[in-house]
Copies of this chain bind each other. A is one copy, B any other.
Amino acid sequence: MIMTLDFQSDFPIYKQIRNQIIEGIAKGLLKPGDPLPSVRMLAQDLSVNMHTINKAYQLLKQEGFIQIHRQRGVVINPDGFPKITDDYLAILQESLRPLIGESVCRGMKEEAFLDRCRKLFQQMEKGGEGQ
């Protein structure tokens, strides 16, 4: 799975990594039980500090997306993923609110916005690496 980082972004590197792994899961490129590269390997591949990879992995583990074993290394959680909790819905709502607010200001129609979302859902379902 290819990963691209933006070192100018407001988003910290470790969160970009976390997001792209989650995206990989959503697209089905990463399936429950699949192994992930070691901290050291991924750090080298992305030319990033090991601490940064570690932080991303710890976050994913804490959220329940991956498991970290001393021996077997890092794997996508084989026991399923976190569910849609009320907490998650609240966070999702508060994340969407400013995006929708700005879109309305700029004159975007509801349907145009929904279409954008639909396209992204299709990208996830199709699973390809495609943009």
Contact = CB atoms under 8 A, between A and B. Distances in A.
Interface of A: 7-8, 12-13, 19, 22-23, 25-26, 48, 62, 65, 67-72, 81-84, 88-89, 92-93, 95-108, 110, 113-114, 116-118, 120-121, 124-125
Given A8-B67, A19-B97, A110-B118, 17 more contacts: A7-B69, A7-B70, A19-B98, A23-B97, A26-B102, A48-B71, A62-B62, A82-B106, A92-B103, A93-B116, A93-B120, A100-B121, A101-B124, A104-B125, A110-B117, A110-B121, A117-B117
B84 A100 contact: no
Nearest to A119: B93
A127 to B, nearest CB: 11
A39 to B, nearest CB: 16
